[in-house]
Amino acid sequence: MDTTNWQDVTDLDLLKACIPDNEDAFAVLYQRYEKRVFQYLMTVVNDAALAEEILVEVMLAIWKGLKTFQGQSKVSTWIFGIAHHKAVDGIRKATSQQRGGTPLDDILESVESGHNPLQDAHRHRTAELTNQAIATLSIDHREILHMAFFEELSYPEIAELLHIPVNTVKTRVYYAKQQLKKSLQHQGVTEEML
């Protein structure tokens, strides 16, 4: 495979190119998924240091599990399935160690100075409040909203990676959305602000 054009390669071909032990191909796969997996973990664990620890575990598990990927599901579904398992493990360990989370005002990128500083500050504030609203939801709710709203996975894909029935996914997304709405209102975020 032409090593210079990996950016254009599909996830599946990239995954195949990683076998056996192609570190260059894996580095590309890593960078393709690093931020997505990390953001998912941040949504679930609410702790940047812990999310990064779990990210390392997820990536190593992907590397070790490359040969076990059967191609029956999408690569992204497979990867988020691994991330889900590792997140559950990580939360269990963190709970037993009674670790604290990251302060919520510290999880956002600093505001870039754009054309309209007032609007930028406003958007930043809304993002901050929205992240706080997400953090107040139950783990199940914020996880499924991340999958459905951010990753835009289909109901069957979410069902597969969470090992729950498709109908449970549909109703859980519905209730999670109602909770997010309440939580946003509680944070003072109105529909006009969004």
For 146, other C-beta atoms within 10 Å of its C-beta total 22
Could you say which of 73, 76, 130, 136 contacts other proteins (CB under 8 A)?
Answer: 130
Contacts of other proteins in 51-110 (CB under 8 A) = 51-52, 55-56, 59-60, 63, 107-109
* Alpha carbons 158 and 66: distance in angstroms, whole number: 21
**Least separation in angstroms between CB 72 and other proteins:** 18
For residue 25, count CB atoms less than 10 angstroms from its CB and return exposed for 0-12, middle for 13-18, buried for 19 or more. buried
Nearest C-alpha neighbor of 82 from the set 106, 62, 98, 68: 62
Residues 105-133, buried b or exposed e (16+ Cβ, 10 A)?
Answer: eebeeeeeeeeeeeeeeeeeebebbbbbb
Considering only residues 131 through 190, tell me which ones interact with other proteins, judged by CB under 8 A.
131, 134, 145-146, 148-150, 152-155, 157, 170-171, 173-175, 177-178, 180-181, 184, 189
Question: Which positions lie near other proteins, rule CB under 8 A?
Answer: 21, 23-24, 26-27, 30-31, 34-35, 38-39, 42-43, 48, 51-52, 55-56, 59-60, 63, 107-109, 123-124, 126-128, 130-131, 134, 145-146, 148-150, 152-155, 157, 170-171, 173-175, 177-178, 180-181, 184, 189, 191, 194
